[in-house]
Structure 1
Amino acid sequence: MNQTTVKDLVDEALALNESLYLIEFSISENNKIQVVVDGDNGVPLSECIRISRNVDGNLDKEVEDYSLEVTTPDIAHPLKVKRQYIKNINRILKVKTAEEELEGTLIAADEDKIVLQWKAREPKPVGKGKVTVDKTATLEYKEIKEAKVKIVF
């Protein structure tokens, strides 16, 4: 299976809807093609079908046997692409770096970094007891080992 040909077909299908973007693309040794796409406003099932048909319609099963799966990332899937961070502004993220784990509301995301904000209880500067303070962390993408959206019910 020619990986470049299949990737070009996926890119061609994605180009028809600029709100969609590729998260993962792989072809296994037994020719299982797996495509994971996301969108700025979600991905309707009709778009997964359209991408699948574009790929499937341009490959010949008589020449090479394969299976094709076009999906969206599930809720437990870590964020991988900068556009996913932008899409999830104002949501709570769990972020792991080499030094620490943070959980806070994603208040900003750009090409280089993200900004998380959360409330924490800290000892009062004077006297006994604790006070609630606002905390902010700015993280560059290269510092992030894993980031997931926290689901709140």
Structure 2
Amino acid sequence: MVRRLRAEGLDFVAAAPVRLVFTREVSASPERVFHALASDVSGWAEWFPAVTSVRPLDEGAGRDVRLRGGTRFRETVLAAKEPEVYAYRVDVTNAPAVRALVEEWRLAPAGSGTRVQWTFAADGPVLVRGALRLARPGLGRSFRDAVTRLDRRLTTRS
């Protein structure tokens, strides 16, 4: 069943009922990390294990994302400010009960590399909010593994 979510903007990242924030430093430059996030969209499946495919839509204004287990997202890119921020909201999904979902990737120079911060901002009924908070350790592990794989991919391509 495909469901349309509430259309939220970037302000939702700070105001969402559920905000899960994860940070990791990598050796790749902010520009290279930004390019991997925003320009090499189909490459996400190579470094983010939960992702099976990503296709850009509308000349980069949106994305079609498929995850392991069959979850699908149709997204709108909310911000692509190189090399600092890449953010998108989920417009349509087959995931049950979620009402709104925005993800933001913030990049900042850190030593000779980049500080990567991912914010997962969501809303849903009380049970969904609780389940998302309980999923925090797993999402954190997924983020750390993905960003480590991304860094390895970017530094071996130098």
TM-score, normalised relative to structure 1: 0.29
| Larger relative contact order, structure 1 or 2 (CA cutoff 8 Å, min sep 6) | 2
Q: Which structure's CA Rg is the greater one? A: 1
TM-score, normalised relative to structure 2: 0.28
